[in-house]
């Protein structure tokens, strides 16, 4: 004999069958049972996140179910589309033809957006990017731009179009009108232990990135100690999902897997990284920062059939045109023109040198821990709305695989106040041994 079920829950379940009614209870019950959700169900979740018809408890249950049952690619595509369509879509490519964009999964010293944008724009490709704030050990591009006095980052679609028409570059934070469903779900992910789900991560990234309507996106997926996904196989899976779903939604895409077993370039810290970008634009910057930027630019060129070569881009950098474009863009976004005559990017006043304790080879650098220590020293916000210390910085003076002598400088830290214990913790991030290998700049590529 069949067991009869009674009560409100059973009544809702019976009413849901065949009636077309898909309330939160039915959708969550199907997800819990491992049944696939169709695009209409997922659109209902996104709509409920925006209009309030789904409670935080129900949205949290959806997030946990999405993690435990692992949304497949089709469901991830549906969630991306639903969150994208929950807000504004700017369709910039309709106004400008070709528009480029770039997204990094974040790291330590990761500053290439600020170099790529003026380089690509000077080569003729408008660049529009929604930038992010720092998270944990990583520093966000939006935080770095705060080091430029007067720089405006809250941009409407109309303002972005003005900037692209004027100087070919617009970088700003996502406004409230962009992917509001993601804004709600993102806040809940942090409270429900669902941050590291690949499907949720992909949908969150792309629902914002695709809202601008770029023609092509290049993804810089980090691998190594300071990467969000340190293992190569997981990073490759993330890259494949980002590229695949972006293409499914009609935008050209490719990905580079770049190394994050050590900081990128010479500097970590908001003002210091802007200084490094300006150095690169003037031909004095570290080769790793320039080479990764060139590789990203060439991905955009291939996606849009622009015909750029490494030689042509290096020649353009040497001409000074990208440096002029950077200044023109920053002033158009509110920066003080005098800043570029003599950039004022002060470092924190307490300078301490970190030395090698023995002769040997640099075998390991705890890059993630370096980022966390800089955050602890003030380079990251401890609460929403709190101030950043833009001058707290680290100069990375060595490289993995490099031979050093006892007492040789490995790095310098710049702090707001003297803290010997903190300096010792910075020093303990550097390891010198007998045998060590250089780190490759790139671990792979995913494209056409």
Distance of alpha carbon 179 from alpha carbon 198, whole angstroms = 18
Structure tokens, 246? 């972006």
Could you give the C-alpha distances from 439 to 138, 188, 408, in angstroms and in order? 20, 37, 20
Q: Running DSSP on this structure, what letter comes out for residue 33?
A: T
> What distance lies between CA 155 and its chain's CA centroid?
18
Distance of alpha carbon 340 from alpha carbon 145, whole angstroms = 14
> What distance lies between CA 405 and its chain's CA centroid?
36
Which strands, in side-by-side order, build the sheet including 409-415?
Answer: 267-268, 393-396, 409-415, 350-355
Distance of alpha carbon 290 from alpha carbon 265, whole angstroms = 9
Beta carbons within 10 angstroms of residue 189's beta carbon? 23
Q: Check if the beta carbon of residue 409 is closer than 8 Å to that of residue 399.
A: no
Structure tokens, 37? 């959700």
Q: Which of 26, 93, 157, 189 is catalytic?
A: 189
Q: Running DSSP on this structure, what letter comes out for residue 85?
A: T
Distance of alpha carbon 387 from alpha carbon 409, whole angstroms = 31
Q: Give the position of tokens 């659109």.
A: 43
- Of 48, 28, 55, 70, give the one whose Cα is nearest residue 200: 70
Decide if 208 is catalytic.
yes
Distance of alpha carbon 125 from alpha carbon 435, whole angstroms = 44
Q: Which of 103, 325, 368, 443 is catalytic?
A: 103
Decide if 204 is catalytic.
yes
Q: Which of 137, 144, 208, 395 is catalytic?
A: 208
Q: Is 448 helix (H, G, I), strand (E, B) or coil?
A: coil
Distance of alpha carbon 94 from alpha carbon 12, whole angstroms = 45
Decide if 144 is catalytic.
no
Decide if 182 is catalytic.
yes
Q: Which of 204, 207, 215, 301 is catalytic?
A: 204
**What's the burial of 76, exposed, middle or buried (CB within 10 Å: 0-12/13-18/19+)?**
buried
Q: Which of 30, 41, 143, 182 is catalytic?
A: 182
Decide if 266 is catalytic.
no
Q: Which residues are catalytic, by number?
A: 103, 182, 189, 204, 208
């Amino acid at each position: 004999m069949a067991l009869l079920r009674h009560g409100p829950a059973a009544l809702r379940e019976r009413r849901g069958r065949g009636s077309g009614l898909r309330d939160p209870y039915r959708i969550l019950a199907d997800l819990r049972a491992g049944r696939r959700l169709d695009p209409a169900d997922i659109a209902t979740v996104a709509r409920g996140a925006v209009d309030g018809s789904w409670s935080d408890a129900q949205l949290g249950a959806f997030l946990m179910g999405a993690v435990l049952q692992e949304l497949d690619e089709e469901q991830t595509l549906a969630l991306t589309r639903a969150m994208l369509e929950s807000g504004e879509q700017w369709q910039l490519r309709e106004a400008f033809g070709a528009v480029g964009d770039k997204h990094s999964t974040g790291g330590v010293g990761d500053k290439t957006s600020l170099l790529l944008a003026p380089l690509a724009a000077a080569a003729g490709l408008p660049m529009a990017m929604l930038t992010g704030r720092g998270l944990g050990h990583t520093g966000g591009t939006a935080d770095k731009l705060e080091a430029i006095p007067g720089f405006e980052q809250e941009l409407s679609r109309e303002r972005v179009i003005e900037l692209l028409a004027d100087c070919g570059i617009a970088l700003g934070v996502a406004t409230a009108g962009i992917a509001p469903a993601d804004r709600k779900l993102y806040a809940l992910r942090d409270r429900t232990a669902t941050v590291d789900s690949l499907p949720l991560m992909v949908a969150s990234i792309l629902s914002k990135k695709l809202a601008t309507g770029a023609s092509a996106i290049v993804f810089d997926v980090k691998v190594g100690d300071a990467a969000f996904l340190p293992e190569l196989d997981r990073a490759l899976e993330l890259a494949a999902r980002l590229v695949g779903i972006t293409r499914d939604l009609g935008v050209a895409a490719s990905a580079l897997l770049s190394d994050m077993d050590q900081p990128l370039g010479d500097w970590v810290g908001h003002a210091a990284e802007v200084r490094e970008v300006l150095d690169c634009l003037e031909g004095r910057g570290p080769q790793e920062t320039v080479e990764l930027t060139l590789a990203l630019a060439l991905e955009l060129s291939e996606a849009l059939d622009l015909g750029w070569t490494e030689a042509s881009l290096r020649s353009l950098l040497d001409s000074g045109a990208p440096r002029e474009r950077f200044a023109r863009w920053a002033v158009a976004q509110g920066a003080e023109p005098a800043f570029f005559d003599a950039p004022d990017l002060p470092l924190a006043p307490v300078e301490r040198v970190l030395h090698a304790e023995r002769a040997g080879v640099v075998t390991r650098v705890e890059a993630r821990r370096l980022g966390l220590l800089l955050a602890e020293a003030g380079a990251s916000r401890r609460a929403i709305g709190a101030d950043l210390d833009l001058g707290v910085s680290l100069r990375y003076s060595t490289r993995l695989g490099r031979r050093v002598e006892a007492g040789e400088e490995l790095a310098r830290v710049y702090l707001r106040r003297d803290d010997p214990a903190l300096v010792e913790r910075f020093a303990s991030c550097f390891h010198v041994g007998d045998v060590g290998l250089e780190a490759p700049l790139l671990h792979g590529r995913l494209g056409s």
